[in-house]
Structure 1
């Protein structure tokens, strides 16, 4: 059994990863080395930000638990509102923009394959596949 306390085990450690341009904070609670086959994160999207994301190597499911924002599908141009209670899944490695709303948005995220913990977006919005 794995038990984690975000305040004691993640925040302020190497498992709390900050975006290069300070648009988000990823608190990585469960990682590849723990052998679950997925990773589990709390992500804070800062208010009034825009992040380009294109997970070519990962699938992600995201559930909003507070705040608000928008996601823009770059293939279709569709824009969807995100708020407490909304889930979205990037089941086709969907390239998108993620916008923070008027207040910080708190998201719970699952990645497959799991992240190792060191990943940050490259210039194309991609997390590298780390073995």
Structure 2
């Protein structure tokens, strides 16, 4: 049986999820991955996820849903076991956490986002990442 550190587990999860992002969604996905960490530090976890929740609502008419994909990926990282929390329910689940659990979830998400950023930088082409370098949308 192989034992992995938390960092190894986060890295494997991030790379696995980033590799699944379809080419048409990569630019927006990368933008959200790169912006989320600073949004959490600036506004707090609940507010940052509320922003993504609002973005998800505005995407309901779009075919590609990189925000929904990112929320799913983060939900699986923060709440890995049963019962499973769907990505769209992640912001509400975070709002309902007790203070100590909220603080832990914030730290966990920030550490997980480091690996998501690395995975995006390592696997997306420069063209797919240039959307981020130009300041987003």
Shorter-chain TM-score: which interval?
under 0.3
TM-score for both structures, normalised by structure 2:
0.26
Which is helix-richer, 1 or 2? 2
Q: TM-score, normalised by structure 1?
A: 0.26
